[in-house]
Structure 1
Amino acid sequence: MLAKLFRFKGGVKPQTNKAISVHEPIGRAPLPARLFVPLHQSIGGAPNPLVQAGDSVLKGQLIGAADAWVSAAVHAPTSGRVLAVEEHVAAHPSGLPTLCVVIEPDGRDEWIERRPVDHHSLPPERVRELLRDAGVVGLGGAAFPSHAKLTPARAVAMEHLVINGAECEPFMTCDDMLMRERADEIVRGIAIFRELLSAREVLIGIEDNKQEAIAAMQEAVLRLAPDYRVVAVPTRYPAGGAKQLIRVLTGKEVPASRRSTELGVQCFNVATVYTAYRALACGEPVLSRIVTLTGNVERPRNWEVWLGTPMREVVALARPRADSSSFLMGGPMMGFEIPDLDAPVVKATNCIIAASPALFPPPPPEMPCIRCGACAEACPHELQPFELYWFARARNFGKTQEYYIFDCIECGCCSYVCPSHIPLVQYFRFAKSEIWAREREKQAADAAKERFELRNARAEREQAEKAERLARAASAKASEKRAPPDPGNKPAPESAPAVDQPPAAAGEVAMTAGDAEAIRKAAIAAAIERARSQRESAQPRNTDRLSAGQQREIAAVEARRAARSTAATAAASGTAAATDSGGAAVPPAGSRRDD
């Protein structure tokens, strides 16, 4: 039965360049002399290191534990010795370092004890925890922890489980070769995810330019799960985007503010379900991934590469030509130039392309935007890229958010069709990074303000408590002074009848209550006066070692100061004595007074 397909808005049709890397089966890359395994290889929190320099590790041993639910564990790709846990250059456009576990392989490749599990006998929550601890993440490029996506919405039944085998990015063929060679394990992994989500229908979307993969998946589905549907979708970039593939296969359009599970659909990459099956059925955590080596190389091919392998050693397997000028990680549309080939392979490394001036000519110079609207027509998320470009260039980041810049998936369609050759995606990435940086600064400032206010409140509270203690002490002393003395301090005889003492006079009670505030203020004033006296009594300590001449000069200055003080006192006394009977002062001789 032919499936009804839908269309998504926008998209482009660049040259695929896929045929060059599918002539050979998937090869297994050799172990390098050293592995640099980054602890942070997925979206979410960075795992906590569990090893230190000098430790021995086995293949599959946990070396980084997930620190939160949106996080995934990291394992040793082989047995060996930990040389260090240190910063190392990362596979990121910035080239900044990340914390890595440096392992020296011992050559034995000795496994930990592998414990396959029967997921049917475990509650769903436990299966999700096992996937998290096995390091299963989205291997389509996003590297989102898969266990966090396997929780269905409570209010909406799961209608469709979409398996993404489209692989729309040019040059990339790692998923294509995986479906050709390991279709059975993919289908078994799909069954695990379907059970966890209780999905009614499974749809496997593959672009129609991958006929061998479509045939292999159809054969596996026919043998293992006849109710699954393998659907050939039109080749159009970015059909491999999750929202675009959901739209094509189900007709459902996922709003930016909602999750796809709220519409009863969820999407996973074929490599993700494959690693999930290996993790549960074989007890093997994610230690490697398939990487396409292609571009300006003599031997384009797909290789299964150990995580942490330096890209320099991986690239050497494809024998890049002498005129290769740079290397891209990912495809030419959404990938980035690798700043340093010493960066290691991570879970998001799906393709490495050797670039040359002939293969990727230098872009023409950027020209002014002519507002032709071609970028808006090509945008698969129906944004206005030319407006976002103007606001990003003017650093008006508030306006970029009003125009939904975070809905942009950075697919590159707008840059591809721009007649002015404007690198629009770079402007959008710049705006997003600035917004994130300002948000972090705001959060830090808010936290600092809160700490400052709490500190001031604590200081005021402590000062008030101290003043209250002083006031109580002063009140107690005043009460003791007002109490009448007991002459002889003789106790009353035991046989004497108890006599009720008269109540205190009303004036005494009022005086005691009214004096509490005055006593408290007096105590505070006394404390302030004591502090002032201590400051005044503190003498400078720079007069300890004075010469005789310096001491004579100081004595002369003090004598002159005393003489002036005496003269001023005498003048003040004379002025007071010369005051007339009406209270007016008599002016000194020679002065003039205006009547």
Structure 2
Amino acid sequence: MGTQFDFPGGIHPPDNKQQSLQEPIRQAPLPEQLIVPLRQHRGDPGRVLVRVGEQVLTGQPLSECEPGLSAPVHAPTSGTITAIEPHTVPHPSGLEELCIQIAADGRDQWCELSPCQSDAGILGRYDHLHRTGVVGLGGAGFPTRDKLQRAETAPQVLILNGAECEPYITADQALMRERPESVIAGARALWELVGAEQCLIGIEDNKQDAIEALKQAAQGTGIEIRVVPARYPSGGERQLIQLLTGREVPSGDLPADMGVLCQNVATAVAVERSLRLGEPVIQRITTLTGNALARPGNIEARIGTPLDHVLFAAGLDPEHLHRLIMGGPLMGFDLITTGLPLIKTANCLIAGTAKEFPDPPIPQPCIRCGLCEQACPVDLLPQQLYWFASAGEHQKAEHFDLFDCIECGACDWVCPSHLPLTDYFRHSKGVLRQEKKEQAEADHARKRFEERQARMEREQAEREERRRARQQAREQRQTEVADEAASEPHPAPAATGPDRETLIQRRDQARQKVEEAEARVTEAREQTPEAVPKLERALNKHRKRLEAAEQALGSADGEA
């Protein structure tokens, strides 16, 4: 069944898919050494559970984390932990992440798996998906458990994304045409899990082999196979939703807010295997393609496998390799070396030659042709966003819905001036995210400062109240002493030395000095501990003076 809905814009680049579809999916040989990054998903890395020298089994958890934009990773094979240290990972910036390195023992011995219990509730099944490290395998890497739980109520429509619209990538197409039963089983597992009213699988019309296989496998299941026109970027989540349902996700909203849940077909297979077998995500299907490879195709390889291991197995010619791209040519990014690990989101590796991927021409000034606006699938104004981003006016770009940009690269493709528009948009987004992060940190610091000031003022008021109470008590004692002295006969004054009233005054003054010194010591212990020794020495001096004054007064009373 086709669809009568559409989305704006889009382009028709050469798909270059046939070169990687000539053979069935191949099993990649197990490498001697695997490198498993702790972060292979959107969000934060987990906490390491293993140590260097420890023996691990296939499927054993290597990290743990709480649900909420994070996912654990698992041992892709049995072996020995040889290192836990930073290592360069596949990323546009070539950054390093904490990785766990495993020396494979060749036995590939699995740990005991725990399938999800049949009586587990929906939250129990969500947590099971979290424990087995299931994330979006279409390239985004969003933790599946967190995406499923975003919806407050059961979605009306469950969509499995099999469009795979970007050129060169055929991993999902190979999965659908060769393992359609697994895809339908995954769709049914997800459908039952989320309780949607309808389940649709969207697939482009240039994948006839996969379409026929899925239709055959879906007979009698209630799952609908919806065919959409081949046009990039029909595989974008919001674009596919619009194609299949006619619903446009408003700016700032999520599909879940509209009662729609979208998942990749490979993710659905991983969900089904997780629930039924307890199997964690330790391998994935990846497209190996490009003219620098003698044997392009799709391979199923363990997570953490060094890229050069699979590339050389596919006949990589290093002398003709000009660009190594992870992902597609429009949304992917260049890798600086082949010595990087395969990760969960690596759906494609393109080993391109200089003829296939020549260096981009020198950008020319914008000629205001408007082609970028016509190609934009989310109805943005790329030309206007470019002016703001290039001028550093990032706030203005945000007001023009910069964050609605899906970074599909369609505007780059049609730009006659060869402007790297998407790079400008990514940079502007990064600046805005950093500004928001710094603002949040500043707000947090200000809040802490204000709370500290309020606490100090409250403590100061309490100390002042205690000081006033001591002063009142002291004045009360002085009044009582004076009254007692007035009610008794006055002794004859001493022949020499200070009189009794003077000695009493000296004693009271010394006692007040002691009390004040004690208060200063107490306050210093709370606020400036380094000043306590000096203040304690002063306190001891005042105590000695008080003791001398009391002795002098006692002597005077004895002589009297």
Instruction: Please indicate, yes or no, whether the TM-score normalized by the shorter chain is above 0.5.
Output: yes
Whether 1:384 and 2:381 are equivalent positions in the alignment is yes
Report the equivalent of 1:81.
80
Aligned residues: 498
Q: Deviations over 1:396-438 (max 9, x none)?
A: 0110110111100000000000011101000001101111111
> 1 CA distance for matches of 2:108 and 2:129?
23
Q: Deviations over 1:359-393 (max 9, x none)?
A: 01221110111111110110000000000000000
Report the equivalent of 1:315.
311
Secondary structure of 1:292's partner? strand
Sort the Cα spacing of 1:11 and 1:418 in 2 relative to 1 into closer, same or farther, 3 A: same
**Paired residues of 1:152 and 1:197 also in contact (CA < 8 A):** no
Whether 1:272 and 2:267 are equivalent positions in the alignment is yes
**Paired residues of 1:152 and 1:158 also in contact (CA < 8 A):** no
Report the equivalent of 1:130.
128
Q: Which one of 435, 438, 460 corresponds to residue 435 of structure 2?
A: 438
> 2 CA distance for matches of 1:326 and 1:68?
37
Secondary structure of 1:62's partner? coil
Identity across the alignment (%):
45
AA aligned opposite 2:244:
L
1:131-530 to 2 correspondence within 5 Å? 131-151=129-149, 153-154=151-152, 158-222=155-219, 225-296=220-291, 297-321=293-317, 322-483=319-480, 484-485=483-484
Q: Deviations over 1:467-525 (max 9, x none)?
A: 33233222212111101328999xxxxxxxxxxxxxxxxxxxxxxxxxxxxx99x969x
AA aligned opposite 1:306:
R
1:534-553 to 2 correspondence within 5 Å? none
**Paired residues of 2:322 and 2:357 also in contact (CA < 8 A):** no
> 2 CA distance for matches of 1:201 and 1:461?
60
**Paired residues of 2:323 and 2:357 also in contact (CA < 8 A):** no
How far is 1:99 from its partner? Answer: 1.1
AA aligned opposite 2:198:
E
Structure 2 runs not aligned, ≥5 long: 489-511, 522-530, 539-560
> 1 CA distance for matches of 2:54 and 2:340?
23
How far is 1:122 from its partner? Answer: 2.2
How far is 1:455 from its partner? Answer: 3.2
**What is the TM-score normalised by the length of structure 2?**
0.84
AA aligned opposite 2:121:
P
> 1 CA distance for matches of 2:229 and 2:75?
40
Q: Which moved more, 1:318-327 or 1:238-247?
A: 318-327
**Paired residues of 2:55 and 2:80 also in contact (CA < 8 A):** yes
AA aligned opposite 1:96:
L
AA aligned opposite 2:330:
M
How far is 1:84 from its partner? Answer: 2.2
AA aligned opposite 2:73:
V
1:98-109 to 2 correspondence within 5 Å? 98-109=97-108
> 2 CA distance for matches of 1:130 and 1:5?
38
Q: Which moved more, 1:392-401 or 1:97-106?
A: 97-106
Two-structure CA RMSD over aligned residues (Å): 2.6
Structure 1 runs not aligned, ≥5 long: 490-518, 539-595
Secondary structure of 1:75's partner? coil
Flag the structure with larger Rg. Answer: 1
**Paired residues of 1:8 and 1:244 also in contact (CA < 8 A):** yes
How far is 1:446 from its partner? Answer: 2.3
Q: Deviations over 1:513-553 (max 9, x none)?
A: xxxxxx99x969x979xx9xx89x99xxxxxxxxxxxxxxx
Report the equivalent of 1:115.
114
How far is 1:9 from its partner? Answer: 0.5
How far is 1:241 from its partner? Answer: 0.8
> 2 CA distance for matches of 1:316 and 1:446?
51
> 1 CA distance for matches of 2:307 and 2:387?
37
Q: Deviations over 1:88-122 (max 9, x none)?
A: 11110111111111111121111111233354x32
> 2 CA distance for matches of 1:268 and 1:219?
21
**Paired residues of 1:22 and 1:302 also in contact (CA < 8 A):** yes
**Paired residues of 2:56 and 2:79 also in contact (CA < 8 A):** yes
> 1 CA distance for matches of 2:23 and 2:251?
40
**Paired residues of 2:411 and 2:421 also in contact (CA < 8 A):** yes
Secondary structure of 2:484's partner? coil
> 1 CA distance for matches of 2:17 and 2:398?
37
